[in-house]
Amino acid sequence: METVEERLRGLGLALPPLMDPPGGRPTLRLARRSGNLLYLSGNGPLRDGQIAYRGKVGRDLTVEEGYAAARLTGLNLLAVIKDALGDLERVAGFVKSLGFINSAPGFTQQPAVLNGFADLILDLYGEERGLHARSAVGMAELPWDAAVEIETIVEIADGA
Amino acid sequence: METVEERLRGLGLALPPLMDPPGGRPTLRLARRSGNLLYLSGNGPLRDGQIAYRGKVGRDLTVEEGYAAARLTGLNLLAVIKDALGDLERVAGFVKSLGFINSAPGFTQQPAVLNGFADLILDLYGEERGLHARSAVGMAELPWDAAVEIETIVEIADGA
Amino acid sequence: METVEERLRGLGLALPPLMDPPGGRPTLRLARRSGNLLYLSGNGPLRDGQIAYRGKVGRDLTVEEGYAAARLTGLNLLAVIKDALGDLERVAGFVKSLGFINSAPGFTQQPAVLNGFADLILDLYGEERGLHARSAVGMAELPWDAAVEIETIVEIADGA
């Protein structure tokens, strides 16, 4: 059976390197385990250490660009999961995600944007492990003017 | 002792049917269980498959209408719980909810709006099971211009 | 070894009294336990029963004032934890926080504001217990025009 990493490569994708947080003492963990749940910090559409999608969806960015931003955010979240668990196969399933979409006035298609994340997870993990509860909401502002910020909770496989 | 469903009927309320998600492959679960917790996707003030309350509270809608929207959202969340657990009695208690209120500039009574949800849960489940931790916040935009979006986590009764 | 409360006093800080919710029947719990997790309701920069920091960061308040608001919110959250657990030492660790920052148009430094909370927790609990997963996002409006609202999940020590 194909592994999640093989599927990732099959889609022409690669996990981005984890960014070192800016200098000074740390202020967060990118992921924090409690029991068999792994809570991930809000992440964004980072590529080569830069925010690749900035601005408000519905004005500065199209829905399609927002979707791409959510998909790229998913890769960054997967890189955090791999770093925390050592192996993407140790994910028993995605439990819950919350998608914050930087939204222009009148923009109301936040779920279509968050689908960029949800579809990636579904492609990689399949319905049983990949389909999860979620909310998508429209934000006034986001850090560094990122187009999206997504946080998620994943369940770690027993014995892992 | 009266059941939750009997109390619901006593209030003249009924659980709405679950909406089938729009065509194409699914992108979410309305509820995802992990351990003895059930995580519910953000839900809205749906009636007969339509968003019954649209727009921003404090401009398009009064606080009272926002309250009614949160209460209606509660019915939709209860329908999801019943579908997931089979019986509303299997809820050991509500743990946490997060209420996103579509807010006009200067509108700061988000908790009074979310009370529409909290009061319904309290009426149905009583203080021990119904009172829970919560946050209410003011959003720039919400999907389909819904007046509110609410997500919640419920604890499932032992042995259930 | 210094206790968390001793460190708090060493910083010249004290836990504020818990506010009684406004009259009428209760609509929330300030904290709700499930398993070994304690979920806290969104809290704000309360001092002597008043919101001490109102308005939007980046317009009405500087980043430094926003940071102070997040730190003060942390004290209010710690007061809730102490009330719920009896002793601040019973915290095994902070798991996840979500910081809602009341943001002026164009303000994108939400993480620098939330650091006011994160740094306080780190000062009191150290890296092992204090560093946690988090998200910081920019809100259109918040209850009572508070500058920040923060919710958090803490893990309770085994046997506690």
Residues with pLDDT less than 70, chain B: 20-23, 159-160
Whether B96 contacts chain C with CB within 8 A? yes
Q: What percent of chain C has pLDDT over 70?
A: 96
Chain B residues with CB under 8 Å of C41 CB are 133-135
CB pairs under 8 A between A and B: 84
Judged against a pLDDT cut of 90, whether residue C20 lies above it is answered with no
Q: What is the pLDDT of residue C25?
A: 82
Q: Is the pLDDT assigned to residue C112 strictly greater than 80?
A: yes
Closest CA of chain B from C30, distance in Å: 6
Angle between helix C110-130 and helix C63-85 axes, rounded to 10 deg? 40
- Note the CATH number of domain A43-156: 3.30.1330.40
Q: Which residue is listed with tokens 């996707």?
A: B41
Confidence at residue C30, expressed as pLDDT on a 0 to 100 scale: 96
Q: Which of A29, A42, A140 sits opposite C103 (nearest CB)?
A: A140
**What is the per-residue pLDDT for A1?**
80
- Looking at the partner chain, which of A98, A111, A140 has a beta carbon nearest the beta carbon of B140? A140
Compute the nearest-CA separation of C123 from chain B (Å): 26
Q: Which residues of C touch A41 (CB under 8 A)?
A: 133-135
- Per-residue model confidence as pLDDT tens digits over C10-19: 999 999 998 7
State the DSSP H helix or E strand holding residue B9, giving kind and residue range, or none if neither: helix B4-10
Per-residue model confidence (pLDDT) at position A91: 98
CA A99 to CA B151: how far, in whole Å?
A: 12
A110 in Cβ contact with B113 (< 8 Å):
no
Comparing alpha-carbon positions, the chain C residue that sits nearest to A39 is C133
Does the domain spanning C4-13+29-156 belong to CATH 3.40.50.300? no
Which residues of chain A lie closer than 8 angstroms to B80, CB-CB? none
Residue B25: per-residue pLDDT? 81
Collect the ranges in chain A with pLDDT lower than 50.
Answer: 160
Residue B16, token pair as written in the block: 């709405």
**Is B142 part of the contact surface with chain A (CB cutoff 8 Å)?**
yes
* Superfamily for domain range B4-11+30-156: RutC-like (3.30.1330.40)
What's A119-131 look like in SS3? HHHHHHHHHHHHC
The span from the CA of B57 to the CA of B66, in Å, is 6
Contact C155 A26 (CB under 8 A): no
Nearest-angstrom CA–CA distance, A8 and A14: 7
What pLDDT score does C24 carry? 76
The per-residue pLDDT for C153 is 98
Complex-level ipTM: 0.96
